[in-house]
Structures are given as structure tokens and as C-alpha cells.
Amino acid sequence: MSASLEKGINALKEQVDSSVAAFFSSCVHCGMCADACLFYTETGDPSRMPINKAEPLRRIWRAEYTLLGRVGKMFGMTAKVDDKLLSEWETLVYDSCTLCGRCSMVCPVGNDIALLIRKTREGMAAAGHAPAGLIGATKRSVTIGSPMGVKLPALMAQISHVEKDTGMKIPVDVEGAEYMLLLSSMEIMNFPEFIEAIAKIFDKAGASWTISSEAFEATNSGIQIGVADIAKVLVQRVVDAAEKLKVKTVISPECGHAYMAIRWEGPNLVGKPFGFKVRHILEILDEFRQDGRLKISGKEDQRITYHDPCQISRRGGVIDQPRNLINMFSDNFVEMPDAGKMNWCCGAGGGVSSNERADEIRLKVFQRKKDQLDEIKPDAIVSACSNCRIHLEDGLEEYNMDIPLMSLTETLAEHLAD
Amino acid sequence: MTDRINNKDKSPADLVQLEKSRLDKTLGETLRSQGISRRSFLKFCAATASMMAMSPAMIPKIAHALENARRPSVIWLSFQECTGCTESLTRAHASTVESLIFDSISLDYHHTLQAAAGHAAEEAREIAMEENYGKYLLVVDGSIPMDNPGYSTIAGISNYDMLMDTAKGAAAIIAVGTCATYGGIPHADPNPTGAVSVGDLIKDKPIINVPGCPPIPVVITGVLTHFLTFGSIPELDHIGRPKVFYGQSIHDRCYRRPFYDKGLFAETFDDEGAKKGWCLYKLGCKGPTTYNACATAKWNDGTSFPIEAGHPCIGCSEPDFWDGGGFYKALSMPTANITETAIYTAAGAAAAGVALGAMNRSKKNSAAAAHSDTTIDDLEK
């Protein structure tokens, strides 16, 4: 079976629920979401106003679930959803939205606009209007196990490098461990130091942990492309592995959407509560700090700022923890304007970075991040999302800015007291 | 008018002849012959100018225009009315200059005031119309029944026929009182006579609406003065009322307004608030939606006006004031009995909501039933 408009429309019909109806009914067309979206502020293009991106879903809601829309439909007066509309909207829904959720924060009537766009993606993907890059990543996630095509042998190779460098044993498939660590492909391939940092910190903190050889991938392309059926398959792998290893807590690594996918969408996708807890790595580290299990030596005096990854800070509520942790090793922490829950997205989340077609626009909208950084001129940026990190590096290079980027977990590990 | 009454023994033809000789005199000459001093005449001009919000520079102009005006012929027609408007005009300011001005216009026909009766009366009207065709002023009070002409006739002529016939040669029409201007009380629901206003019937003549039940006398004379001074009709609002008198709401000029602004209201007619002279809004005052000069010009030679006497404004100078849902209901209260409507509406809406909800649920369920799992092989067309 292949994608079709009919399937897309059916998917959109399925997505309409009481929240969708309430949100569309309460929209007062004030346009405040426009100024909250970096894809609008940096391009000035009104079609990129957040609520407009959910237009295909709005049309289905109106035509199928409202009285006026139904009557209008009989006389051909209600706007339709067709392939032309969906192909026009493809770049708006996928290339010009990172699902960062800043629009949902400013909406005066409380509409979760990011949710509406996320739901719109369900129809777009089922109708065959997802970008090629995301389709590729999704296929690799399901068939190979990772969107970047990372297979277990590649992970094992990185693990043996780390073991060689540190002389520590990296636990794999250890049954009964307290924590099961997930990793993003980005970390496995580009930042294996993350695994090393975790090993050191957990060793000092005296916590037992493991990596599962069956479900080590944290990212979830099904969420990004907008296919709940696929997202469910990917979440189920983690659930199965966690249950098999009988761990108490699954740790989502430094990756934004992975955290949202497993913690917030996960139980809804598999349709039952998890038998284990899900925490972000920063939450675990801050727990260690509170319990006095983290000993730090030496403080840095360079100006350090923290880039809040949208899905971790704004959508995840993990805002105080990174600041508590940074203050352990820094004397000179500075906040960007709009830091915390209203931070501006890097511009490449929500599947934008997997979509080559969006390369130009994601670098264009990086101007917003540049403006934020220009105001405080930090010596270094710390963040907790590998995807943010890769894109921030791209953006800094594009705009000829020379600011080093650091992972919070890795930096913390470097400052561990011996 | 006193002249006329003293001339009871004269025939209609003689009366018209007498009028003709008087028409040759200017208004100024007439006033002086009546013993009105120039000083009191100028006082009247100054008062009129200030009433009509004109600059003091206009006073000599008004005086000059009035002194030299030839007394215009005025025909006054009364239809479905209570004569209150005439009472207001003739009795309230019995001895003022205004009433003398009225003496000095040539009131050639007026049911209530004229001496002549029957055929003689109608003849006087016809002669006045003929002599001054195209120049006379037509004043109308009362509404016109359109349902059955027999509801109101004069000398066997229906109100409608008389109005249309007399209006033809008029220079302008002044509709006096709410009945003539907007249908008034005869027009009130269920309007048994099919009463309509002058403006509903006549479209090709300038009409000045001077509503009120009755209108303030000084407003009637003010409008006449304006017509005599400038030979034109004053600036009118969207429902044909002179803006100088009807430009502001009673509420905006009410001396109790500060209490409204402070939220101090009389709740009943004998409570503390009523005794202290607080705002009558909650007792049904229509001041906020009523445009008239009562709060500034006042009644009975500037003595008082309803609100000052402790009674809420009933909004008599506004169209359909009789159907406003009760004089003692606050403006913010709905005019109709809404409880039943609200119950039926709510029940209907709830039923429709349940039905629509069921339809939507079944639609969503069928969409879910039509769902086939999307796999990675289904992502491309």
C-alpha cells in the first residue's frame, strides 16, 4: 500500500479531537503566534505564521466536524484539502516548523499550536507529502535501528574505543541495572565523549547503569515525520528492552525530541503506562547533585551561557536543573535574553535537520540565535541536545562567529573531582 | 393669536384681508407696535443665539434678520395627537417674547387656536395656501393613520389627503412632537391605526423633526427663528432632528451625571439615594440613549426637568420610546421576557450539541476504522 490523498484525509479526520476543535474554534486571528516564530520573524513571510501551518487540519475540522462547514460542503463552499494544498503546505509544515512550541506559549487563548502542526504532519505523511530526507531517516530507523544508519557493531566499536581510553567497563545488556541509557546516533557517531562522560559520572555517583544492545537508539523519526504507527514501533523497542533488563529508569540522552517522544508521547503511543520511569539525563544529574553524589573541583571564569533546547526546557520543563549544574563549575554564567521556557529555537529541531531541502532556511533563521548571542557575547555555549549542538555549530560557522560549544554532561564530567 | 380671538365676529375673508395688511409689516415693526422694547428683543436674540450654540457675532445678524423678516404664513395641521404639543407651545411661556414672535407670524390655520370653524376654517387654509404657494411653512403635530382613513378626518378630509395636499405648496415642513416625527404613541405596538410619521410619507420636502412628548417650547421657537433668520433649515442629525438641540444626550448634560460616574444610584423612589439626588439609571432612566435639550434648556421657563424633579427620563424624543420595555426598567435590562426564550434556546442548543457530537463521534470512529497502519513502505506515493 502506498501513500494517498485519501489516506491523508482519513488521517487528518482521525486527528480531530476535542482539543483540536476547541483550539480552532477559539482562535481569534490575533496573529500573536507570528511574532513568536523565528521562521516568521526572520523571513517576514506571513504564510509562515504558526497557525497557518495547521491549515490542512483546520479545513478538515471545519468541513467534517462543524455544522456550517458541513452545510457549506454540500454547496461546494467549504475549502477543500487536495494534493495541491498539501504540496504547497509541505515546506510550511516540515521545513518551516521545528515544533519548538514557542507559539503555544504566547497564544492568548491558550491554543497548543505546535500540537496542531504535529497533528497536521500525520495527514501530510499519510498523503505522501513528507520530505524525502525525513522519509529516508524514518526508513533507516525502522530497518536499521537508527536514523543515521548506525548499527550495533558501530556502537560496539565506539564503546571499545571508550573502554580503551578510560580503562572503564561500559555496561551493555546488564540485567537489573538501575538506569538504562539511550543514545542518539549523533552522540554515537559525533560525540562518543558523551558515553565516556556518563561512565565517569555514574561511576563517581555509584549508580548502576547499562546500554541495551536491542534498543540503544533514543531518537524517534516517527514523531518527527508525524506517523504515530511508526513512532509506536520505535517506542515499543525501548519498552521491550527496558522490561527485559528490568531497569527502574530509562534515561533520555542529550537530545530534545527523543525526550519528548519517550516521556510524553511514549505511553500514549503504546497505550499503557510504562513499568519504569523516564528521565532526562539532566534530571538524573541534578538528582545526583542534590544527593551530594557529584563532587566538582575547580570553577571556570569564562562567560558561559546555556542554550535551552525547546523540547527539554519549554516542552519538557527541565529548566532549573541545567542551571544548577552549570553553577557547580562556573563562576560566570550569563543568561541569553528570553532564556528558559521562552528561549528561541536553534532552528533545526523537529526533523528540520534531517531535511536537506530546509538547509537554507534553517541557516537563515539562525539570525535569531545570533542576535541573542550578540547581546551577551559569551565565551562558550553549553547545551544539552546534540541536534541543537550540530546546528549551532553550522550556524556559528555560517555567520563567522567563533564560540565553542559544549555538552553539559561532558563538561560536568571534565570537572569531576578525583 | 389674541388678535384673532378678538376678531371672532369677522368673516374668514375679512380675516385673510387683515392678515394681508399685516403681512406688509416687518417683524420688527410688528413687535414695536406690540410694545416690545428693543432691549428685550435683543435679549431674546442673544438667548436664541446661545441656545443654538452660535457665536455672539451672530446676535446682530439674528436681530437684523428678524426685524426685517416678512411674517411668513404658517399652516398648522393636527392629526392623531393629544394637543399636548400645542399646549406646550402656547401655555408654558405665556408672556415671553417667543409667544409674541408667534403672534407675529401669520398663523393662518390651526385647529385648536383658530376662530373660524367648519367650511370657513377650511377656506382659510385654502386661501393661505393659494396666496403663499411655495412659501408657507407647514407645521404638523400628530401621526397619520394609514389603516383606515376614517380613524381620523377633518372636515371629511382624511389626514393623509390633507397632509399631501397641504405639503405640496410648503417651503418646508416642521414635524412637531414624537407622533408627527416618529409615529409616537399611536404608532406604539400593536399600532391599531397603522399610524405613520410625516417623514414616512413625504420625501420631497425639507422636514425638520422636533420630537418630544411634548417638545420643549423654546426648541420649537428656536427652529422657527432659525428658519426666519437664515431662510434655511438648521443642520440635522441622522433622524432629522436639529443638532443644536438634539446633539447631546440627556445623560451627558445631566447634573446627576457625577453620581453615575461614581456608581451612586437610587434603587427605589424613596431610598436614601433618591433623597440624596443620586443617579436614576437603575430606576429606568433613559437619559443615556435620549438626545434632547431638557437637561440644558429645561421646562416651565427654565425651572426644572423630569430628572431634577426626581423622575427618570422616559426617552420621549426617541423613536419607539413607548415600546422600550417599561419606563422603570434599567437600560441594561432586556426588554423582552427572556427566561422562556433562554430555556428553549439552551434546550435546543443542548440537543443540537448532542446530535452533532454523536455525528462527529461516529465520523471519527469511521475514520479510525478506515485506518490502516502506516509503515515505512507507505510513506511515498
pTM, to two decimals: 0.62
Residues A302 and A254 in one domain: no
The C-alpha cell of A311 is what?
Answer: 523540547
Across the range B242-250, mean pLDDT stands at 93
* A394 pLDDT more than 50: yes
Instruction: Assess contact for A168 and A203: CB atoms under 8 A.
Output: yes
Find the range with the poorest average confidence among A19-23, A62-66, B27-31, B112-116.
Answer: B27-31
For residues A104 and A151, membership in a common domain is answered with: no
Domain boundary at A258, A289, A320, which? A289
Co-location of A119 and A180 in the same domain: no
Contacts of B263 (CB under 8 A, 6+ apart): none
Mean residue pLDDT across chain A: 94
Do A46 and A109 lie in a common domain?
yes
* A173-225 pLDDT per residue, tens: 999 999 999 999 888 988 899 999 999 999 999 999 999 999 999 999 999 99
- Span of A174-183, A204-213, A376-385, B297-306 with lowest mean pLDDT: B297-306
Q: What is the pLDDT of residue B1?
A: 40
**pLDDT tens string B145-178:** 999 988 999 989 999 999 999 999 999 999 999 9
CA distance B140 to B149: 17
- The pLDDT-based confidence of A160 (bands split at 50, 70, 90) is very high
pLDDT at residue B46 is higher than 50 = yes
Question: A10–B367: do the CB atoms touch at under 8 Å?
Answer: yes
pLDDT band at B94 (very low <50, low <70, confident <90, very high): very low
How many domains, in total, are found in chain A? 3
Determine the residue of chain B that is closest to A83 in CA distance: B381
Whether residue A101 sits in one domain with residue A16? yes
pLDDT in tens, B185-210: 999 999 999 999 999 999 999 999 99
Q: What is the CATH number of the domain that holds A376?
A: 3.40.50
Local confidence band at B2 (pLDDT 50, 70, 90 cut-offs): very low
CB contact under 8 A, B368 and A14: yes
A67 in contact with B, Cβ within 8 Å:
yes
pLDDT at residue B95 greater than cutoff 70:
no
Do residues A149 and A63 share a domain? Answer: no
Q: Are residues A68 and A37 in the same domain?
A: yes
Nearest Cβ partner for A230 among B352, B367, B374: B374
Same domain, A56 and A201: no
Of the pLDDT bands very low, low, confident and very high (cuts 50, 70, 90), residue A51 is very high
Determine the average pLDDT of the residues in B347-359.
91
Q: Which of B356, B372, B381 sits opposite A128 (nearest CB)?
A: B381
Q: Crossing angle for the helix pair A67-74 and A55-65, nearest 10 degrees?
A: 80
User: Do B373 and A229 touch, CB atoms closer than 8 A?
Assistant: yes
Residue B23 has pLDDT above 60, yes or no: no
- Per-residue pLDDT, averaged over A394-409, amounts to 95
Predicted confidence (pLDDT) at residue A91 exceeds the cutoff of 70: yes
Question: Where residue B336 falls among pLDDT bands split at 50, 70, 90?
Answer: confident
Helix H, strand E, coil C: the string for chain B is CHHHHHCCCCCHHHHHHHHHHHHCCEHHHHHHHCCCCHHHHHHHHHHHHHHCCCCCCHHHHHHHHHHHCECCEEEEEECECCCHHHHHHHHCCCCCHHHHHHHHCEEEEECCCCCCCHHHHHHHHHHHHHHCCCCEEEEEECEEECCCHHHCEECCEEHHHHHHHHHCCEEEEEEEHHHHHHCHHHHCCCCCCCEECHHHHCCCCCEEEECCCCCCHHHHHHHHHHHHHHCCCCCECCCCCEHHHHCCEHHHHCCCHHHHHHCCECCCCCCHHHHHCCECHHHCCCHHHCECCHHHHCECCCCECCCCCCCCCCCCCCCCHHHCCCCCCCCCCCCCCHHHHHHHHHHHHHHHHHHHHHHHHHHHHHHHHCCCCCCHHHCCC
CB contact under 8 A, B364 and A1: no
- With vertex at residue B99, the alpha carbon angle to CA B5 and CA B2, rounded to the nearest 5 degrees, is 10
* Strands of the A209-211 sheet, one edge to the other: A209-211, A179-181, A249-252, A277-280
Residue B333's pLDDT band (cuts 50, 70, 90): confident
Q: How far is A132 from chain B (nearest CA, A)?
A: 9
Give the closest of B363, B364, B376 to A230, CB-based. Answer: B376
Contact A230 B375 (CB under 8 A): yes
Residue B21's pLDDT is 59
Residues A138 and A275 in one domain: yes
Are residue A42 and residue A78 in the same domain, yes or no? yes
**Mean pLDDT calculated for residue range A240-267:** 96
| Cell numbers at B158, concatenated | 382624511
Subunit contact B378:A7, Cβ cutoff 8 A: yes
Q: Which domain holds residue A276?
A: 134-289
Please, what are the domains in chain B? Answer: 2-246 (3.40.50.700), 250-323 (4.10.480.10)
Name the domain boundary from A262, A289, A316: A289
Burial of A374 (0-12, 13-18, 19+ CB in 10 A): exposed
CB contact under 8 A, A227 and B379: yes
Residue B99's pLDDT is 58
Residues A141 and A282 in one domain: yes
User: Average pLDDT of B319-344?
Assistant: 86
B361 touches chain A (CB under 8 A): no
Task: Please tell me which residue of chain A has the smallest CA distance to B364.
Answer: A14
Quickly state the pLDDT bin for B14 (edges 50, 70, 90).
low
* ipTM, 2 dp: 0.79
Average pLDDT over residues B78-87: 91
Percent of chain B clearing pLDDT 70 (strictly above): 90
Q: Which residue of B has its CA nearest to A134?
A: B379
Bigger pLDDT: B116 or A350? A350
Q: Among A289, A306, A327, which residue terminates a domain? A: A289
Q: Tell which wins on pLDDT, B250 or B40.
A: B250
The predicted model gives B324-349 an average pLDDT of 86
| Residue A186 · residue A387 · CB < 8 Å | yes
Amino acid at A90: E
Within this chain, do residues A143 and A222 fall inside the same structural domain, yes or no?
Answer: yes
What pLDDT score was predicted for residue B103? 63
Q: Which residues, 6+ apart, have CB-to-CB distance to B193 below 8 Å? A: B80, B143, B145, B146, B147, B148, B151, B152, B186
Which one of A3, A13, A67 has the shortest CB-CB distance to B367? A13
pLDDT tier, B3 (very low <50, low <70, confident <90, very high otherwise): very low
Residue A111 sits in a domain whose CATH number is 1.10.1060
Average pLDDT, chain B: 85
> In Å, how far is B367's CA from the nearest CA of chain A?
6
Least trusted range by pLDDT, from A62-66, B94-98, B121-125: B94-98
Predicted confidence (pLDDT) at residue B101 exceeds the cutoff of 70? no
With beta carbons under 8 A apart, name residues in chain A contacting B352: 67
Give the minimum alpha-carbon distance from A266 to chain B in angstroms, rounded to a whole number: 17
